[in-house]
Chain A
Amino acid sequence: MSVTAIDQILAFVRERYPQAEIDASQDIFALGFVNSLFAMELVMFVEKTFEVTIPNEELRIDNFRTADTMATLVARLAPDAAAA
């Protein structure tokens, strides 16, 4: 799994929620201040940044809970993008 993909995802989350101390394994939806609209922004960020189209069946909140799970999803969909 790519450190780069995790870093890019973490940077995006931290930019939107600078008050939160978030690491790659933390469930960002369990922190209490992220709502489901942010999940949609995460999907768009991941699709744009890693140039992937996430299939409908993968659009589940469990795939977006942590930077780790998002990077795993990216690695599954586009191994090259995740490793870049």
Chain B
Amino acid sequence: MTVIGVIGAGVMGVGVAQNLAATGHDVVLVDKDERTLADALATIRHNTRMSRLMGGPALDPDEVLSRITTAVGAAGAAKADLVIENVTENWDVKREVYETLDAECGPGTVFVVNTSAIPITKVGAVTGRPDRVIGVHFMNPVPAKPVVELIPGFHTSQETIERTEALLSAMGKKAVRVKDSSGFVSNRVLMLTVNEAAYLVHEGVADAASVDEVFRGCFGHPMGPLETADLIGVDTILYSVEVLYEHYADSKYRPCPLLKQMTDAGLHGRKSGRGFYTYDSN
């Protein structure tokens, strides 16, 4: 494999690009505009610098960045052998990206859908290559999380599974294979937990710090659900809960109004400087 396309330079795309480059892969990182890409490269420089402090390997930021080129528009990944797509968890946005990728990339290119909730079979269906579409649910921060969910769609071929497993292994990831079902294993449970934690704050039962302290202190979780929401992005949590709600048509996935209000107000968590907690901006 020579070049890996990474579509979307948000929190997940940046993590995937850094992880790939740090493990010796050449990457083309794609987004809609130059500004986002410039910010992404600055974030990768910052994160590689902090790598050892965060418990990862000591990395040379210049060496990692030397393996990453950028391009505006999904067509920029036309020459990639494998594409990892990380755009927002919004079906209309994802569909448009896949239509472009399918038209621009060679017939052998594998499309890896990095999603926490959207069914892989549904993505495969908008391309002419459903056998070469597969899901990988990376965790955040990508370089620091050694396990991913691997989700073959209905038509995904064995060859595609093996190529993806080989890449994940080269990235230092262990893949847990699960079936294609909205939310897979992780987010069926996690999103409901975060949503219910938001309801506790919304109803005034407990403040965010108290909710998180119960999870850390009583259950031994390294982070509580609302710290986790701030890390993932409050807006992303809302979209993920909405996808589950839409997919299962089950009221147990109704999104907490507080998540909607915070999303509208720009309180998106760490990335915006404020979510359930307030962060020092850098």
Q: How far apart are the CA atoms of A44 and B50 in the complex, in Å?
A: 10
Q: How far apart are the CA atoms of A37 and B216 in the complex, in Å?
A: 15
Inter-subunit contact B49/A44 (CB<8 Å): no
Contacts of B217 in A (CB 8 A): 33
Q: How far apart are the CA atoms of A56 and B282 in the complex, in Å?
A: 17
A to B contact number (C-beta, < 8 Å): 43
- The distance from the CB of B116 to the nearest CB of chain A, in whole angstroms, is 20
**Interface SS majority for chain B:** loop
State whether the Cβ of A10 lies closer than 8 Å to any Cβ in chain B. Answer: no
State whether the Cβ of B128 lies closer than 8 Å to any Cβ in chain A. Answer: no
Inter-subunit contact B52/A36 (CB<8 Å): no
**Which of A25-50 touch B at CB < 8 Å?**
32-33, 35-37, 39-41, 43-45, 48
Inter-subunit contact A43/B50 (CB<8 Å): yes
Q: Of B52, B144, B213, B280, which is within 8 A of A41 by CB?
A: B280
State whether the Cβ of A61 lies closer than 8 Å to any Cβ in chain B. Answer: yes
Contacts of B60 in A (CB 8 A): 56
- The distance from the CB of A65 to the nearest CB of chain B, in whole angstroms, is 11
Chain A residues proximal to chain B, CB less than 8 Å: 19, 32-33, 35-37, 39-41, 43-45, 48, 56, 59-61, 64
29 contacts between A and B (CB under 8 A): A19-B213, A32-B216, A33-B217, A35-B222, A35-B223, A36-B53, A36-B54, A36-B55, A36-B144, A37-B54, A39-B50, A39-B53, A39-B54, A40-B50, A40-B53, A40-B54, A41-B280, A45-B280, A48-B280, A48-B282, A56-B49, A56-B58, A56-B60, A56-B61, A59-B49, A59-B50, A60-B52, A60-B53, A61-B53
